Amino acid sequence: MTAQRDPDHAVVATLLGREPAGAFTVAVRRSDGSPVVIENAPLLHDGRPMPTRYWLVDPELRETVSRLEAAGGVRRAEAEVSSEAQAEAHARYAAERDKLIPPGHTGPAPTGGVGGTRRGVKCLHAHLAWFLAGGDDPAGRWTARQLGVHRDAFVMEGGAVPMNPGPAAALDCGTNSTRLLVVSDDGTALERHMHITRLGEGVDATRRLAPSAITRTLDVLREYRTLMDARGVSGARLVATSAVRDAENGGEFLGPAADVTGVTPEVLTGAEEGRLSFAGATAHLPLSTTDSSCVLVVDIGGGSTELTVGDRSGPRPPPAAKVATTSLDIGCVRISERFLRHDPPDAEELAAARAEIEAHVAAARGTLPGVPDGSLLIGLAGTVSTLAALANRVAVYDRARIHHAVLERSTVDDWLGRLAAEDAPTRLAHPGMEEGRQDVIVGGVLILAVVMEVFGQTRCLVSEDDILDGLVNGLLAGIGR
């Protein structure tokens, strides 16, 4: 450890209420310079072991953590934090500490992980201290969430653990589905999950998120946080889109979502949603598409549809300045709830829905840059993926068979007619139809069919890379970590 600086030594002695028994450095400070976390040497001055490498000395944080522990915080943390992920954290903590033991030391040595234990949660003070110093500690992260403490509110000193660039995660709370993508620091997908939670159920009519929809979505986010902890995620973004944008009570979801995930939610504008979706969809296109310099991306969500046009001169996505996007208040859930009220829908309902969609898409074409013949159309989101699964009889989801499949316009029109003539149970029986989408798939396919018609597109490239990929690519590039 480095030599003590007298001012720090005196301040820390006052905070501890005694003289420090070993060497230490200040690892984390408040913005005014006052110590928050100290990093201890593995051995005390008298040679005894010091298992707790990071020690919380800030009096305000110590008091709030003590109150959390008194209210059963340790029990709750053990119940809510993955035991496997925490055991791995203990092992990392011990390995980092043991590297600091002087070579040739033969006396007693510190053992265990955070707080001297190898498994579970022992001392929330110690867990929070390591987390604030940059440690990948699920229990420390959990404690910080409970207290509303954010690591970026403090200043890390040179002695603190360097932030692990580690895995990054993106969470998308859409109108119809809630999704997670976790990637390694080299961009390899580690986890990719989707649950239909219908957060936007009824929002088009009521302009409010239903309590049951909020509960469903939070339950899934809680599962995702466990997966993120198990993967050691070090940076994450959580976005909400159309349903929360439109709801008067969006805060009733956003606050609990932050508590459950430990990530501050962002409510994207339609333009932001379109740009991120375009970035994800065009980042890794097949070489067979490089002849198309103009790309039109259609992202059909539950509450809105984003149309984004960009020029592409090579395999990389174009700069943001060359991308134009517009967001339409039409989506598979919104169109279904507003127009398709019978099952199957009658001819008048389908005609009214088509007229509404045509009006929106035609207006969008008038404001977007021209999309010449031969341009590449890329379709995103559950409607398009499900349609590819239906067309190719992919009964069990297989990303390799869906990603970059091609849908001909005739295939889209044929399936639209077929699905619109069936009731929901019959649609669900088709190989490839996922549970929860059978009641809104007609509205979604109708949107795709109209977009292809209005823009004169005969083929649609299906992409499983979308807004989630755009989000994590930004994280890996250092944006939003």
Residue ranges covered by each domain of the chain: 6-156, 168-269+471-476, 285-464
Read off the pLDDT of each residue in 21-39 and give the average, rounded to a whole number: 89
Distance CA 126, CA 158 (A): 19
Please check whether residue 57 is in contact with residue 36, taking contact to mean a CB–CB distance below 8 angstroms: yes
β-pair type (294-300, 376-380): parallel
Q: Is residue 116 very low, low, confident or very high in pLDDT (cuts 50, 70, 90)?
A: confident
> Do 168-269+471-476 and 285-464 come out as alike in CATH topology?
yes
The string of pLDDT tens digits covering residues 279-314 is 889 888 887 776 667 899 999 998 899 999 987 644
Is there a cis peptide before residue 344, judged by omega within 30 degrees of 0? yes
Local structure of 381: helix, strand or coil: coil
pLDDT in the model for residue 82: 77
192 vs 233: which has the higher pLDDT: 192
Distances (CA, A) of 190 to 10, 224, 227, 359: 47, 13, 10, 41
**Is domain 285-464 classified as CATH 3.10.20.740?**
no
Q: Is residue 478 very low, low, confident or very high in pLDDT (cuts 50, 70, 90)?
A: low
pLDDT at residue 16 greater than cutoff 70: yes
Sheet containing 305-311, strands listed edge to edge, beginning at the edge strand earlier in sequence: 323-328, 305-311, 294-300, 376-380, 459-462, 406-408
- The domain 168-269+471-476 belongs to what CATH superfamily? ATPase, nucleotide binding domain (3.30.420.40)
Lowest mean pLDDT among 46-55, 152-161, 463-472: 152-161
State the pTM of this model. 0.67
The string of pLDDT tens digits covering residues 183-219 is 987 788 999 999 999 999 999 889 999 999 999 999 9
